Amino acid sequence: MDAVMLRVLALAFTVFIIAYIAIPVIVTLVMSFNDASVIRFPIKAWSLRWYGDFFGSPQWVDALKSSVIIALGTTVISTVSGVLAAWAFERFTFAFKPVVYLLIMLPLFMPGVVLGLGVAMAFGDVSLFGINIYGSRVLVMLAHSLWAMPLVFMLMEATFRTVDHRIVEASYDLGGRPVQTFFEIVLPSVSTGIISSALFAFVISLNEFVMALFLTTRDTQTLPVLMWLSLRSAGTPRLAVASVILAAAVFVSLSLIMVWYIRQLRKT
């Protein structure tokens, strides 16, 4: 009796959790193919009208471009800085290690609204070489790196621990300089870790909109920011299309990495 009831409960929960997670995804996907200009169920006619509308609108296409540029920049900045810092933590002993650790990790736990506000206030009217920093894409990349870099650091610190330090020693014994050893021995052996943490950095930046809301102007606004602003005025099926495209960008990069990973497995 007990066992039967548990089985029924487990089944009910499984149905609930699948429905819960799938509902917003499916609603969005379905709505993006709606032909009408209001959001209303049931959907009477289907078309690709709103996809055409999205790609025909310079404002939305520019926002998408901005998002991708900022996400790529964030990926490069946070992966390089996070990997180097993680290697320093794994290989060296130095003073103030716990303090430095806290300083690097702390931004990850800060609310986006606080980080965005702080950066906006501190760099609100700073200009470099005559160019306003505020509103520039670089500032958004650096702000997004406050979340992406600690994440890369955390993942890479764990990954570097799996590196067999004897091969590093062997490289030194054979006359390899530290820099050469790092690039030719260490990095290739942790490439999967680096690629996955870079992906996380990319996804975080692509999806983030609270910091970007504080830091972008009309010209540099990212897709999530534009979506948030237009949701506040009126929701149209165009927003559903934007959601689908944003998610598609994430899943395309995810599958590219899966393909790379499988090829990597075949090689060995």
Partner 1 sequence: MSAGASDMAPSGPRGPGWRMRLTPWLLMSPALLIAIAFFGLPIAFMGRMSFNEHVDQRFYVPGFTFDNYAAMLTDPTFSAALWTTMRLALISSIVTVAIGYVFAMLVWLKPKRWRLAFIALALCPLLISEISIIFGWWMFFPKNGLLSYALVSSGLITDKISLMYTEFAAFVGLTYVTLPFCFFILLSIFDGIDKKVLEASADLGGSPVRTFYEVLLPLTKGGIAASFAQSFIWAVGTYATPSALGPDTLWTIGYLIQEQMLGKHNWPRAAAFSIVLTSGVAVVMMIIRMLASKRTALNG
The correct pick among 70, 142, 151, 198 for binding partner 1 (CB under 8 A) is: 142
Q: Token pair 């029924």 is at which residue?
A: 8
Contact residues for 221 (Cβ-Cβ < 8 A; gap 6+): 63, 66, 212, 229
Contact between 247 and partner 1 by CB under 8 A: the answer reads yes
- Map residue 176 onto helix, strand or coil: coil
The correct pick among 69, 72, 80, 185 for binding partner 1 (CB under 8 A) is: 80
The correct pick among 69, 72, 117, 185 for binding partner 1 (CB under 8 A) is: 117
Q: What Rg do the C-alpha atoms of the chain give, in angstroms? A: 23
CA 62 to chain centre: 19
Stretch that binds partner 1, among 44-52, 56-64, 114-122, 190-198 (CB under 8 A): 114-122
Instruction: Tell me which amino acid residue 241 is.
Output: V
* Pairwise CA distance, residues 167 & 16, whole Å: 49
- Give 46's DSSP letter: B
Stretch that binds partner 1, among 11-19, 45-53, 190-198, 255-263 (CB under 8 A): 11-19
The correct pick among 68, 69, 72, 91 for binding partner 1 (CB under 8 A) is: 91
- Give 34's DSSP letter: B
The strand ranges marked E within 167-259 are: none
Q: Of 6 and 256, which CB lies nearer to partner 1 in the complex structure?
A: 6
In the complex, minimum distance from the CB of residue 247 to partner 1, in angstroms, rounded to a whole number? 6
Contact residues for 28 (Cβ-Cβ < 8 A; gap 6+): 240, 243, 244
In the complex, minimum distance from the CB of residue 113 to partner 1, in angstroms, rounded to a whole number? 5
**Inter-residue contact 119 to 111 (CB < 8 Å):** no
Contact residues for 200 (Cβ-Cβ < 8 A; gap 6+): 148, 151, 152, 155
Q: Of 81 and 189, which CB lies nearer to partner 1 in the complex structure?
A: 81
Contact between 261 and partner 1 by CB under 8 A: the answer reads no
Stretch that binds partner 1, among 50-58, 190-198, 248-256, 260-268 (CB under 8 A): 248-256
Stretch that binds partner 1, among 73-81, 130-138, 187-195, 260-268 (CB under 8 A): 73-81
* Pairwise CA distance, residues 238 & 60, whole Å: 10
* Pairwise CA distance, residues 35 & 50, whole Å: 7
Contact between 194 and partner 1 by CB under 8 A: the answer reads no
The correct pick among 56, 93, 129, 188 for binding partner 1 (CB under 8 A) is: 93
Site string for partner 1, 25-64 (x = CB under 8 A): x-xx--x------xxxxx----------------------
Number of residues that bind partner 1 (CB under 8 A): 90
Backbone angles phi, psi at 124, to 5 degrees: -55, -40
In the complex, minimum distance from the CB of residue 135 to partner 1, in angstroms, rounded to a whole number? 14
Tell me the torsion sign for CA atoms 192, 195, 197, 200. negative
Contact between 103 and partner 1 by CB under 8 A: the answer reads yes
Contact between 76 and partner 1 by CB under 8 A: the answer reads no
Residue numbers 170-189 binding partner 1 by CB under 8 A: 172, 178
